[in-house]
Amino acid sequence: MMGLVEKLRSHARRIVGSPAGTLVLLYHRVATPAVDPWRLSVSPAHFAEHMAVLKRQAKPLQLRALRTALRTGKTPRDGVVVTFDDGYADNLLAARPILERNDVPATVFVTSGALGTPGFWWDRLARVLLRPGKLPKRLSLPVPGRTLDVKLGRDAQWDDAAAAAHPGWQPWGDEHPTARHKAYRIFYDALFPLGPEERETALAALPRGPESHAERALSIAELRTLAESDLVEIGCHTRTHPVLSRLTTEAQRDEIRLARRDLGAIIGSPLTSFAYPFGRREDYDEGTVAMVREAGFSCACSNFAGSVAAGTDPFQLPRFQVRDWDGEGFAAALRAWRNGEEPPA
């Protein structure tokens, strides 16, 4: 009979994925933002430690090399691919110099419609609700078919200490320590399924958050500069970062094809890699996968855990979400992922 330890290991492998094969790592930002509720950022210092660990303990690969390895059925067990989602400006300003110092390649999946904008809606919502400042005691968010009202009470006024009082808060949990944290989760859930125009209308009803350029997306000129690096591949992340499975077939096709066209025109070469926005299994469907293939891409990245080995669907490549660990913590996470286990918190 299988022992308890082996049962636990088997269960972990079913959750995380087979330990054999290449790991694809998912980053978003290399920055130290004032607020980061979804833990999308890795500090520049920690990112530098991550890349040094990869140079010592792994075989960094370009995504196109992984595609070739999949076709031949020979994915390296010590291979690691670095990817970034969304297209934040710090991918160029902070991440690229560190990648170049360590000779580590990366793929940056860019949301074409975000180029040159102040940033993504989830960051703008965080600036309103989770930064210091004075808000009305009641906030209303009009979304199609209803209006959401949230009472802030004494949390309407926040100083620096109040804003910094709950650094470990995670919006995906059930604990919301203040009215502002609860409002963020309620409004996020309401905004998440909306189209870009509906979402902008809703956000316009909220007070303006403090001005910030820290979370901005790449500009068109910066995208061209980023694409000039031999180490960086530019990939496609749709036009407006929607939940593709919620769109009509025609709308999905436009998000995929038009983003590929626009980004290819900017950088002067066709894009061959795609990443599904949000990327969970419920955020796209079989029709989406078929449209990505038909649009001319040769692979696509998802956002669920697992390693890439012979037989992995190249249009549903699993990835591991990287957190703001120091070098030692990152090395521990790599070991855990290779063993089919959960990494340290």
- Indicate whether 150 belongs to any domain: yes
pTM of the model: 0.92
What's the Cα-to-Cα distance from 321 to each of 25, 27, 98, 235, 299, rounded to whole Å? Answer: 6, 7, 19, 18, 19
Q: How far apart are the C-alpha atoms of 303 and 301, rounded to whole Å?
A: 7
CB 80 within 8 A of CB 55: no
Give the domain CATH number at 300: 3.20.20.370
8 pLDDT more than 90? no
Q: For 261-320, write each residue's pLDDT tens digit.
A: 999 999 999 999 999 999 999 999 999 999 999 999 999 999 999 999 999 999 999 999
CB 232 within 8 A of CB 107: yes
Tell the burial category of 76 from Cβ atoms under 10 Å away from its Cβ (0-12, 13-18, 19+).
middle
pLDDT at 74: 87
Same structural domain, 112 and 144: no
Same structural domain, 233 and 331: yes
Same structural domain, 135 and 241: no
Same structural domain, 104 and 223: yes
Same structural domain, 318 and 222: yes
- Indicate whether 290 belongs to any domain: yes
Nearest to 196 by CA among 254, 148, 139: 254
Please, which residues bridge with residue 86 across strands? 110
Question: Which uninterrupted H or E stretch holds 69?
Answer: helix 63-72
Q: Residue 242 has which token pair?
A: 């929607």
pLDDT at 159: 96
Q: How far apart are the C-alpha atoms of 195 and 287, rounded to whole Å?
A: 19
Q: Which residue has the tokens 């992995």?
A: 312
Q: For 69-80, write each residue's pLDDT tens digit.
A: 999 988 998 999
CB 296 within 8 A of CB 260: yes
5 pLDDT more than 80? no
Q: Which residue has the tokens 């809606």?
A: 121
Same structural domain, 332 and 223: yes
- Indicate whether 61 belongs to any domain: yes
- Indicate whether 210 belongs to any domain: no
Same structural domain, 230 and 106: yes
What average pLDDT score do residues 19-34 get?
Answer: 92
pLDDT at 214: 84
Same structural domain, 96 and 139: no
Integer-rounded Cα Rg, in Å, for the chain is: 20
- Indicate whether 345 belongs to any domain: no
Where a domain ends, among 204, 229, 253? 204
Same structural domain, 149 and 285: no
How many domains does the chain divide into?
2
- Indicate whether 136 belongs to any domain: yes
Beta strands in 217-319 (DSSP E): 232-236, 273-275, 299-301
Nearest to 320 by CA among 5, 58, 3, 31: 58
- Indicate whether 343 belongs to any domain: no
What average pLDDT score do residues 150-168 get?
Answer: 95
What average pLDDT score do residues 97-116 get?
Answer: 98
pLDDT at 19: 53
Q: For 205-259, write each residue's pLDDT tens digit.
A: 999 877 777 899 999 999 999 999 999 999 999 999 999 999 999 999 999 999 9
Considering the chain, what percentage of its residues have pLDDT values greater than 70? Answer: 94
- Indicate whether 344 belongs to any domain: no
Domain interval for residue 270 = 4-116+215-338
Q: How far apart are the C-alpha atoms of 148 and 142, rounded to whole Å?
A: 6
CB 70 within 8 A of CB 20: no
Same structural domain, 105 and 247: yes
Where a domain ends, among 204, 233, 252? 204
Same structural domain, 127 and 194: yes
Q: How far apart are the C-alpha atoms of 5 and 217, rounded to whole Å?
A: 46
Where a domain ends, among 171, 204, 237? 204
Nearest to 84 by CA among 332, 296, 242, 321: 321
Same structural domain, 256 and 272: yes
What average pLDDT score do residues 179-198 get?
Answer: 95
Q: For 49-103, write each residue's pLDDT tens digit.
A: 999 999 999 999 999 999 999 999 889 989 999 999 999 999 999 999 999 999 9
Residues 6+ apart with CB under 8 A from 190: 141, 143, 148, 202
Q: For 306-329, write each residue's pLDDT tens digit.
A: 999 999 999 999 999 999 999 999
Quote the longest CA-to-CA distance of the chain.
62
